[in-house]
Amino acid sequence: MTLKDQEVTARQAAVEFDVTVQHIYMLIYAGRIKARKTDGRWLLDGEDVRVRAQALRAKRARAAARRSRRASEVASGMEAGA
């Protein structure tokens, strides 16, 4: 069974997002992720978690590439000025 086919707990979503469970609760309370509370536990839509986690990973990769590019530019600027 994949995330697409099921609901996941806040803890499972936190692992998928690589964030804390408290961050997942913040997203739930802010209405930024679909969830429902049952028997005192938050259950999140597996497909929504999968899509959002994939987008977050892509955003983090772009940010890392920008940082790497800037570091290279700074390093090459230092070499040119030396």
Q: What is the pLDDT of residues 58-81, one digit of tens each?
A: 888 899 888 888 888 887 776 655
Residue 42's closest CA among 1, 78, 11, 2?
A: 11
* Domain boundaries 3-81, corresponding CATH code: 1.10.1660
Q: What is the pLDDT of residues 10-30, one digit of tens each?
A: 999 999 888 999 999 999 999
Q: What is the DSSP letter of 31?
A: T
Q: Residue 50 corresponds to which tokens in the numbers above?
A: 């999968």
